[in-house]
Amino acid sequence: MHSAAAFRERTSGISMTIEEKVAKTLAELGAADAQGVESAFAELRRAAEHERAELIARGASDEGERDRVCKSLRDRWLARKGGLLSLADEHWLKSASKGIKPVAGRQFNEFRRFAACLEFENLIEAVPLQQAAERQMELSLSPEIVRPTPRDLTLPGFCRPAGSIHPISRMRREIEDIFLNLGFRIETGPEIETTYYNFDALNIPESHPSRDDWDTLYIDSKTLLRTHTSPVQIRAMEKYGAPVYIITPGKCYRRDNPDSTHSPMFHQIEGLAIDTDITFADLKGTLDFFAKKLFGEKVRTRFQPSFFPFTEPSGEVAVSCFVCDGKGCRVCKESGWIELMGCGMVNPQVLRNGGIDPGKYSGWAFGLGVDRFAMVKYDISDIQLFFQGDMRFLEQF
C-alpha cells in the first residue's frame, strides 16, 4: 500500500488526536516513504493553522484574557518541553529511518518556519479585542456623539521605511538553505564553553598555541568564550550518536585586535556528517556542490593538504574567482583563487570522545567564516563595517 494512503488509513481508522500522533514514530503511523512523511507534516500544519484561526475568530474580551489564551496556544505548540513541535522533533525526525531522514528534516524545518506565526507577539497582533470592537460600533451608532471631520483619503499615507536583512544574516541563511536542502539539520550550543568541549574533546593538546591567553578569551581556567563552533559537534555526537548530519552556525570569540580583516567577535558555520562508509570523496563532492550553488555553476574547487588536530587527513578548500573566472583580479589578489574553508575527515579520537565507535563509523567536517564569505560575495573590504551599525552601509542590502 502507498505510504501516504497507509498513513491516512492508520490514523483515520482510529480517532487519534494530534498529541497522540506526534507521540508515535513515523513508522508506527505508517509513513514509510517521502509522500507519507509529507502527509504527516501536512496534517500537523493543518492542525496548527486550524487552532490559530479558531483563536483569532473567537477573539478576547480584554487584554488579560488575550495574553492568557495566546500564551496557552503558543506553549502548546512551541514549548521546549512537551510542545508539539518538540515532540515532532523527538518522535518523527530523530527516530526516522535513514531512507526518509532527509525528507523528514526538510519537512520539519519547513514546519518550524511555518510555526513562527504561533509566536506570542504574532498571536497578540492577530487576536481582536471584543470590547474595543463593540465600543467602536456603539460610537458609530450613537447620534449624540459628535463625529470628527473625516480625513482626506487622497493624502499620502503614513509609511515607515522598510528595513533590510543584515548582510551577515543574509549570507548565513543562504548557506543554511543549501545544507538544509541536502538533509542536514541546524544545531546550536552555548557561547560560553568549557575547555573540555572547546579543546580537549577536539584533540587539541595543552601545548597548542590556540590555548594561550593571548589567543583565547578566558573567563576562568576551565571556562572561556568559544573560539569556534566545533564544541557543538561533540555535544551533538553525545546527544544523537550516529548517524548525524548537522551544521552549526553561531558567534565565536578570539583575542584579535580589530582591523579590516579581524574582529574579536565573528561568525562561523561548521558542518559534520557521520555515517557508515563515509569517505573523503563524499566530502569533496558535497563541498563542490555547495560552492557551485553559492557562487555559480562555473566555479571550480581546489583541495590542498593541511593540518588540523581534529581532522585527519585535513585540507584547505579554494574556489576559482567568480569575478574574473580565475584570470586574476583585485578580489582574488591576482591569484585566480579564493580560499574558502578548512575541512577533513574526523579524527578517530574525536569520534571516541563523542561516544562513537570509529571502527564502525567515519565522518567529515568543515568550518567556514560567514563574515569572510559575505566580504567576498559582496566585495566588502573592511569587516568592521558589519558591526558599526552605519545605516548608509546597511541600506545597500
Which pLDDT belongs to residue 41?
87
* Contact present, 34 and 97 (Cβ < 8 Å): no
Whether residue 108 contacts residue 88, with contact meaning beta carbons closer than 8 Å, is answered with yes
Note the pLDDT of residue 131: 53
**Beta-ladder partners of 344:** 314, 365
Query: C-alpha cell of 295?
Result: 557562487
Nearest alpha carbon to residue 339 among 312, 369, 359: 369
Q: What is the pLDDT of residues 65-80, one digit of tens each?
A: 888 888 888 888 888 8
- pLDDT surpasses 90 at 104: no
pLDDT of 383 above 70: yes
* Mean pLDDT over each residue of the chain, to the nearest integer: 85
Taken in order 111, 162, 169, 339, is the CA torsion positive or negative?
Answer: positive
What pLDDT score was predicted for residue 1?
46
pLDDT band at 85 (very low <50, low <70, confident <90, very high): confident
Listed ranges 4-8, 183-187, 326-330; the one with the highest mean pLDDT: 183-187
User: Per residue in 352-376, pLDDT tens?
Assistant: 999 999 999 999 999 999 998 898 8
Greatest mean pLDDT among 81-90, 92-101, 288-297 = 288-297
CB-based contact 348:322 (threshold 8 Å): no
- Locate cell 481508522: which residue? 13
Distance CA 186, CA 129 (A): 38
Neighbours of 11 (CB within 10 A): 20
Cα–Cα distance between 103 and 100 in angstroms, integer? Answer: 6
For residue 347, the tally of other CB atoms under 10 A from its CB is 21
Is the model's pLDDT at 3 over the cut of 70?
A: no
| pLDDT at residue 340 in the model | 87
Q: With cut-offs at 50, 70 and 90, classify the pLDDT of residue 229.
A: very high
pLDDT of amino acid 51: 85
